Chains A and B, each alone.
Chain A
Amino acid sequence: MLTLDGVQLNSALLLGTGKFASADQLVAAVQASGTELVTLAMKRLDLQHRSDDILAPLQQLGIRLLPNTSGAKTASEAVFAAELAREALGTNWLKLEIHPDPRYLLPDPIETLQAARELVKRDFVVLPYCPADPVLCKRLEEAGCAAVMPLGAPIGSNQGLQTLAMLEIIIEQARVPVIIDAGLGAPSHACQALELGASAVLVNTAIASAADPVAMATGFRLACEAGVYARHSGLATRCTQAQASSPLTHFLETL
């Protein structure tokens, strides 16, 4: 079970709300996914004119919102977006994302740590999207972040857990929830992340860009449930060799 800021979430699946073909499709996918927390780009919200509104349908679902700072290239822009989000949506939960590289949308470790420190001071519950760097994740944890969100692969790339070796270290060392964000392209990737010990995963492109987003959301829900079950029921250890049923040392018992 994922606990953030004292709030327990039963689903280990977080959903991004961009890229869907319509608000109806988004709502149906959210429902099918079983998620209890969805991210929302502040730059997409038109609070004044409410054009192409995706906020109202999500609010009607009563789902918890996690505003994000997408579009920010610097710590100061992210902090500004965070304050707007808190004021507009009435939540101090924030997905911090700062990517100065628009081509691969990779997170900036320096600006992210700087913004995280400032936002924690301002009483935000900070969930930073970050590179899969174990040292940076400890730094973000020490800065007071409520979780860390290292990437599995570049956003939207559907490549799965390319950063596996680093994610294993991050999960081993973390004292806050680890949410694997970005790059998960198939339900099996989500399942693998949860089996590894991640507290949750965040998915957007793999669901929104699927030929049938609602069915894919169902697939991710089931995979996440499977991953959590597997993790909690004690996964068998992998071994590179066969385990002999008559071990060589059996003679010791006959002596």
Chain B
Amino acid sequence: MKAGFFALWQQQSWEHQLLQSRSYTLAQAREALGKARLNLQDFQALISPAAEPLLPQLAAKAQQLTRQRFGCTQQLFAPLYLSNLCANECSYCGFSMSQKVKRRVLNAAEVEIECLALRKSGIDQVLIVTGEHERKVGMPYFRQMLPLIRRHFSSLMLEVQPLSETDYCELRKLGVDAVMVYQETYQQNAYQRYHLKGQKADIGWRLDCPDRLGRAGIDKIGLGVLFGLADWRTDASFLAMHLLYLQQHYWQSRYSLSVPRIRPCSGGIEVPYPLSDKHLVQLICAFRLLSPSLEISLSTRERAELRDQLVPIAITSSSAGSSTRPGGYAVDPEALEQFSIDDSRSPALYKQRLQQLGLAPVSKDWESYLGR
């Protein structure tokens, strides 16, 4: 296996970062806030408890950087769930193997129906999502479905099980523009505790996945943590470390960040380390200062009134009208959802709201011939 972030991660101590992330003073946070180029320590200072009084200034700077880099625009996308089959056992997820739910894998005709329904609602950028089931929803399935989906949309993102570099090279040629692989948590013990079975239990395979994406020349690499599983400041510090590492190694890829917080699901868990709204704002803004070119997306997991406040500050892409069920748009709107969503506004309604907020909704900003 080629060396990747996993090797670097193994040299780190979670406890050290945990203590470090709390050790900053207000003066250090102020200094970080004034810098044009931030390093990991500056980022940690901005997410530290000491930086909390600086939140208004942090948000103002994050907004200024976002407007400068991305303009007064907001990219729109919607998830397209193809399957809820899963060979993993993640104790916080409604798709987990042991959950007694009706499983479904969309066939070609059903995928076509879903695509047409999404297209009709004005969506031109989709995030294809499946549960992680290598045997039934692996490369042969993707080879069949991706070209069908590609015809309908200008940009395809993928959130499925981590794959090999060779597979990613092939997927890129089949039309994949972006791949999201969320680490969930960088803390080994928590990771093993929540990911009990399946390939997902192999933390190294997942940690090195963005390296494989970078080597395969995937245009956009999506990173993220499922906030709530472990201490948020420490997880965010590792996420920032991962981002800085990747930007240096794979300079031709774009990076995007998701900041999901655990949502209730059927058979779900109590959230051990909740991330408050206030800390979510602090986190998002600190990432904007760390990397002005970073795309930051916000899903419909978050409630509408919070999204309407966060989006104009530092978010560059958001989903609308989402269904988290396979077939949920048109084939079978009653199927089981992966997690419950909180902002159920339609794409049309959401676009209207963005315009009121002074942001131009952008449905299309890519072409199928780019990045192949």
B251 in contact with A22 (CB, 8 Å)? no
Complex: chain A residue closest to B247, CB-CB = A103
Pick the contact of B371 from A73, A81, A208 — CB < 8 Å? A73
Complex: chain B residue closest to A100, CB-CB = B252
Q: Output the least CB separation between B325 and chain A (Å).
A: 25
- By a CB distance below 8 angstroms, the chain A residues around B69 are 156
Segment touching B, from A13-21, A191-199, A215-223, A242-250 = A13-21
Pick the contact of A52 from B360, B367, B371 — CB < 8 Å? B360
Q: Could you tell me the distance between the alpha carbons of A80 and B73 in the complex, rounded to whole angstroms?
A: 26
A71 in contact with B124 (CB, 8 Å)? no
Pick the contact of A20 from B72, B124, B365 — CB < 8 Å? B72
Flag B208-244 by CB within 8 Å of A: 1 or 0 each: 0000000000010000000000000000000000000
Complex: chain B residue closest to A69, CB-CB = B370
A-B pair count, CB < 8 Å, reads: 83
Given contacts A52-B360, A208-B71, 18 further A-B contacts (CB under 8 A): A19-B70, A19-B72, A20-B72, A21-B360, A22-B355, A23-B360, A43-B154, A45-B364, A46-B154, A49-B119, A51-B124, A51-B363, A71-B370, A73-B370, A73-B371, A81-B369, A102-B253, A156-B69
Complex: chain A residue closest to B220, CB-CB = A102
- By a CB distance below 8 angstroms, the chain A residues around B253 are 102
- By a CB distance below 8 angstroms, the chain A residues around B247 are 103
Task: State whether A43 and B371 are in contact (beta carbons under 8 Å apart), knowing that A100-B252, A102-B252, A209-B72 are contacts in the complex.
Answer: no
- By a CB distance below 8 angstroms, the chain B residues around A208 are 71-72
- The number of residues on chain A lying at the interface, defined by a beta carbon within 8 Å of a beta carbon of chain B, is 32
Residue B187 CB within 8 A of the other chain: no
Residue B254 CB within 8 A of the other chain: yes
21 A-B pairs within 8 Å (CB atoms) are namely: A18-B71, A19-B73, A20-B71, A21-B71, A21-B72, A21-B360, A23-B360, A43-B154, A43-B365, A46-B124, A52-B364, A71-B366, A71-B367, A73-B219, A77-B369, A100-B252, A102-B252, A205-B68, A208-B71, A209-B68, A209-B71
- By a CB distance below 8 angstroms, the chain A residues around B265 are none
Residue B362 CB within 8 A of the other chain: yes
- By a CB distance below 8 angstroms, the chain B residues around A81 are 367, 369-370
Q: Could you tell me the distance between the alpha carbons of A102 and B252 in the complex, rounded to whole angstroms?
A: 6
Flag B101-130 by CB within 8 Å of A: 1 or 0 each: 000000000000000000100101000000
Pick the contact of B361 from A42, A52, A205 — CB < 8 Å? A52
Pick the contact of B68 from A22, A51, A156 — CB < 8 Å? A156
